[in-house]
Chains A and B, each alone.
Chain A
């Protein structure tokens, strides 16, 4: 998978390197400078960041989620997300697996007001809640497709959107395999979970983690030696969503059912 990925990116990089090597290309370099330098610097920072001191991730214990929707409410309040039920940075899904094997998934208004009783309550094999949010992929498809460099991965591993620079083309919304992005109707720019970047840079927890009443969400630094997140990663077998896509999510799920997509 990694090889495939390299093959896709390499020709452009190779082209730029060769361009740099040409002595007569000084003028081109001056113009393309920021782009070429950008790619290199991004590559360098990605290489460094895996060993960087702060590299954020989240663990979600599916067996602890009670589907109260407090995280959805807190996220909307903290980040001024539009209240209409189409715009979510995080949401909660209810999976119900019936006795005949039929799986139904629902998320009324993202779970912000909780969930109604199931209609087929006597016919449930198993059911559980799955909180979802931007997976802060280490290999983010949304960043790859952005034509202007308005979405990017920071040194601490968080994928952010530069709303001043975003042109609202929606490519990233299409590219995200987790449906974690939306177009903010007020600014017409793409928006998404930032792991509450303004909070975590001050040493606070993201709002959804702060209000989770059962501690189903655990936030921390992936390469810290001792932290609740590291402990979760040691103690439980972790899964990520859609691992076959090779997006390398940094949101890890424990006790995740095989039916979850």
Chain B
């Protein structure tokens, strides 16, 4: 009877390799894959792979941002992996400032770092070298620079009228430059008793333009127009 019970209750492969059912190892090993591995991704996406392999993101596997892609590798047409484009958790889960993060790991404070701008607007995720801090204002404000260059104001530096802090070049929207707010600012050069070169056109601030501000009639970047 014991023999019958043993045959009935002890699984066939029990004890083959140890005090367990040997077939269970194959059951666990047969689990389907969800993450394909970056080697599979770069078989087709070779240009992205090559770009990433030389960038700061070389240790970041494709599926870190694009999600599990084994299904996409099996069926390219109908299964689309994630393509994160918005400013959000995909970038910030690694790059938002947290004090336990290792020193030197690039981190930002999301609230202050160009709010509302998509990360990929300035940083290519496959080659996230930080964009170079512009040397001159014209790098971003090219149209204004071109207009000013053909006006009588061409010799004036932008900082003559705009109080732009150095931080504005790194985080433009967090540190906005200031503009003049009063007629007297223009009067510093253009009023009758101003201490400025004699060939500068002058007006009497008391009766010229009455209650209007200077830039409501004169465009400061091209005052002739």
* Interface pair A79/B31, CB less than 8 Å apart: yes
Q: Which residues of B contact A215 (CB under 8 A)?
A: 59
A82 in contact (CB, < 8 A): no
Contact of A152 among B2, B19, B27, B98 (CB under 8 A): B19
Contact of B27 among A45, A154, A164 (CB under 8 A): A164
Contact with A along B95-107 (1 / 0, CB 8 A): 0111111100100
Nearest neighbor of A129 in chain B, beta-carbon distance? B100
Contact with A along B1-30 (1 / 0, CB 8 A): 011001000110011111111001101111
* Interface pair B35/A198, CB less than 8 Å apart: no
Contact of A41 among B11, B15, B30 (CB under 8 A): B15
Interface residues of A in 55-84 (CB under 8 A from B): 63-70, 74, 77-79
Q: Assuming the A-B contacts A41-B18, A162-B21, A201-B29, are A74 and B35 also in contact, with contact meaning beta carbons closer than 8 angstroms in the complex?
A: yes
Contact of B96 among A37, A114, A118, A194 (CB under 8 A): A114
Inter-chain CA distance A207–B64, complex, in Å, is 10
* Interface pair B15/A164, CB less than 8 Å apart: no
Interface residues of A in 174-206 (CB under 8 A from B): 194, 197-199, 201-202, 204-205
Which listed segment binds B: A2-10, A28-36, A219-227, A242-250? A28-36
Interface residues of A in 146-188 (CB under 8 A from B): 149-155, 160-165
* Interface pair A68/B35, CB less than 8 Å apart: no
Q: Which residues of A contact B118 (CB under 8 A)?
A: none
A121 in contact (CB, < 8 A): yes
Inter-chain CA distance A162–B20, complex, in Å, is 8
Nearest neighbor of A162 in chain B, beta-carbon distance? B24
* Interface pair A121/B100, CB less than 8 Å apart: no
* Interface pair A127/B99, CB less than 8 Å apart: yes
Inter-chain CA distance A201–B30, complex, in Å, is 10
Inter-chain CA distance A115–B92, complex, in Å, is 11
* Interface pair B20/A114, CB less than 8 Å apart: no
Name the distance in Å between B90's Cβ and chain A's nearest Cβ.
10
Inter-chain CA distance A13–B34, complex, in Å, is 43
Contact of A68 among B2, B20, B28, B94 (CB under 8 A): B94
Interface residues of B in 176-191 (CB under 8 A from A): none
A124 in contact (CB, < 8 A): yes
A1 in contact (CB, < 8 A): no
* Interface pair B35/A207, CB less than 8 Å apart: yes
* Interface pair A211/B35, CB less than 8 Å apart: yes
* Residue of B24, B31, B97, B101 ringed by the most chain A CB atoms within 10 A: B24
Q: Which residues of B contact A38 (CB under 8 A)?
A: 14-15, 18-20
* Interface pair B20/A67, CB less than 8 Å apart: no
Q: Which residues of A contact B144 (CB under 8 A)?
A: none
Inter-chain CA distance A232–B63, complex, in Å, is 25
Q: Which residues of B contact A210 (CB under 8 A)?
A: 35, 37-38, 61, 63
* Interface pair A42/B19, CB less than 8 Å apart: yes
B122 in contact (CB, < 8 A): no
Q: Which residues of A contact B67 (CB under 8 A)?
A: 77
A134 in contact (CB, < 8 A): no
Q: Which residues of B contact A27 (CB under 8 A)?
A: 2
Inter-chain CA distance A213–B63, complex, in Å, is 10
Contact of A198 among B2, B33, B64 (CB under 8 A): B33
B194 in contact (CB, < 8 A): no
Name the distance in Å between B112's Cβ and chain A's nearest Cβ.
13
* Interface pair A160/B68, CB less than 8 Å apart: no
A89 in contact (CB, < 8 A): no
Name the distance in Å between B129's Cβ and chain A's nearest Cβ.
16
B51 in contact (CB, < 8 A): no
Inter-chain CA distance A89–B66, complex, in Å, is 22
* Interface pair B20/A77, CB less than 8 Å apart: no
Nearest neighbor of B105 in chain A, beta-carbon distance? A66
Name the distance in Å between A164's Cβ and chain B's nearest Cβ.
7
B50 in contact (CB, < 8 A): no
Inter-chain CA distance A215–B34, complex, in Å, is 20
Instruction: Show 12 A/B contacts (Cβ-Cβ < 8 Å), sorted by A.
Output: A66-B102, A68-B93, A74-B35, A77-B34, A77-B35, A94-B100, A114-B89, A115-B100, A149-B21, A160-B25, A162-B20, A210-B61
Excluding A64-B102, A115-B98, A118-B98, 11 further A-B contacts by CB distance (< 8 Å) are A31-B2, A45-B17, A66-B98, A74-B68, A117-B98, A127-B100, A152-B20, A154-B25, A163-B27, A197-B25, A213-B59
- Give me the 5 closest cross-chain CB pairs, A-B, nearest first: A38-B19, A162-B24, A152-B20, A42-B18, A127-B100
